[in-house]
Amino acid sequence: MATIMDGKALAAEIDKTTTVRIQRLADQGIVPGLVVILVGDDPASKIYVRNKERRAKKMKINSIVRNLPDTISEADLIKIIQTYNENPTIHAILVQLPLPAHINEFNVTNAIAPEKDADGFHPTNIGKLVINHTEKTPIACTPQGIMSIFNAYHIDLDGKKAVVVGRSTIVGKPMAALLVNANATVTVAHSHTHNLSQLTREADILVVAVGIAKYIKEADVKSDAVVIDVGMDRDVNGKLVGDVDFAEVERKASYITPVPKGVGPMTITTLISQTVALAEWSSEKNG
């Protein structure tokens, strides 16, 4: 049976350290400021935004949720982002994705000042991550949270075969870059991949972000693999499950993240921690 990697407990541990850092900033008269921009009222996005806000409030950072109608133009959205770019009380800006079809995600992501990029999706920050220049560089929160899980459970990545299933800007691509930087041999698989099961069966480290409930079965996993499940899916009964069939794969893996209480809590914890880091970096620059 696999060791279940407890993302919720680890998140609580990291939050403690973050609280100390927030206090240290408070002593300098700085309150980290995070603005979350929500365009339209996609139900899933609303839940994500509410969870982020709840945690931000609990951690006592200054959190603003800016709700905008889905009729807003790209130009007007970018103008609003620019006001936050210039606002010294805001250290981190997050635009909840997806955006309505008439708004270009690249243009919006690109409009966020790289030094206020809470999600690490700005091309400059992605480029810095890829070339392993990660000092004072915000990095996508989900893969960064997964790296914290590897670290907490002393998972050796060096020279290991890692397979990342999914190639989104949000998870797959930054995850692959982080694993390459950690000296893993990394394969990026995706919807066009042939013989996926054969590939995943060779993985010492398997990260799954496909958005299909219980997609990865016992037969798709190597014995004693480390399995990270990024999925947040609903099964036929409406129950929250991951992309990995936990009950099956738990028997074969050496380590596995559950859903819920695995990657999910670590993503929000990393967002808060990164917001604090952006405030720290800004104060170092100005101080």
According to the binding rule CB under 8 A, does residue 194 interact with its own copies? yes
Exposure string for 171-194, b = 16+ CB within 10 A, e = fewer:
bbbbbbbbbbbbebbbbbbeeeee
Please state the closest distance from residue 171 (CB atom) to its own copies, in A. Answer: 13
Residues sharing a CB contact under 8 Å with residue 113, sequence separation 6 or more, in sequence order: 85, 93
Label each residue of 159-189 as H, E or C. Answer: CCEEEEECCCCCCHHHHHHHHHHCCCEEEEE
Is the CB of 28 or the CB of 183 nearer to its own copies? 183
Give the x/- contact pattern for its own copies in 20-49, rule: CB under 8 A: ------------------------------
Is the CB of 173 or the CB of 222 nearer to its own copies? 173
Give the x/- contact pattern for its own copies in 65-104, rule: CB under 8 A: ----------------------------------------
166 is in an annotated binding site: yes
According to the binding rule CB under 8 A, does residue 167 interact with its own copies? yes
Query: Within its chain, how far is the Cα of 267 from the centroid?
Result: 5
Which residue in the list 6, 119, 220, 245 is annotated as catalytic?
119
According to the binding rule CB under 8 A, does residue 285 interact with its own copies? no
Please state the closest distance from residue 116 (CB atom) to its own copies, in A. Answer: 16
According to the binding rule CB under 8 A, does residue 52 interact with its own copies? no
Answer for the pair 266, 10: CB distance below 8 angstroms, yes or no: yes
Answer for the pair 203, 175: CB distance below 8 angstroms, yes or no: no
Among 68, 78, 97, 180, binds its own copies (CB under 8 A): 180
29 is in an annotated binding site: no
Q: Name the one residue in this structure whose structure tokens are 């006592």.
A: 60
Question: Which residues from 111-140 bind its own copies, rule CB under 8 A?
Answer: 122-128, 130-131, 133
Q: Torsions phi, psi of 67, nearest 5?
A: -85, 130
- Please confirm, yes or no, whether 119 is among the known catalytic residues: yes
d(CA 237, CA 204): 32
- Please confirm, yes or no, whether 52 is among the known catalytic residues: yes
- Please confirm, yes or no, whether 235 is among the known catalytic residues: no
168 is in an annotated binding site: yes
Among 22, 186, 213, 266, binds its own copies (CB under 8 A): 186
Is the CB of 102 or the CB of 133 nearer to its own copies? 133
Please state the closest distance from residue 131 (CB atom) to its own copies, in A. Answer: 5
Question: Which residues from 213-242 bind its own copies, rule CB under 8 A?
Answer: none
34: tokens are 């995070």
Q: Which residues carry a binding-site annotation for NADP(+)?
A: 166-168
Residues recognised as catalytic: 52, 96, 119
Give the binding site for its own copies (CB under 8 A).
Answer: 106, 122-128, 130-131, 133, 158-161, 167, 169, 173, 176-177, 180, 183-190, 192-194, 199
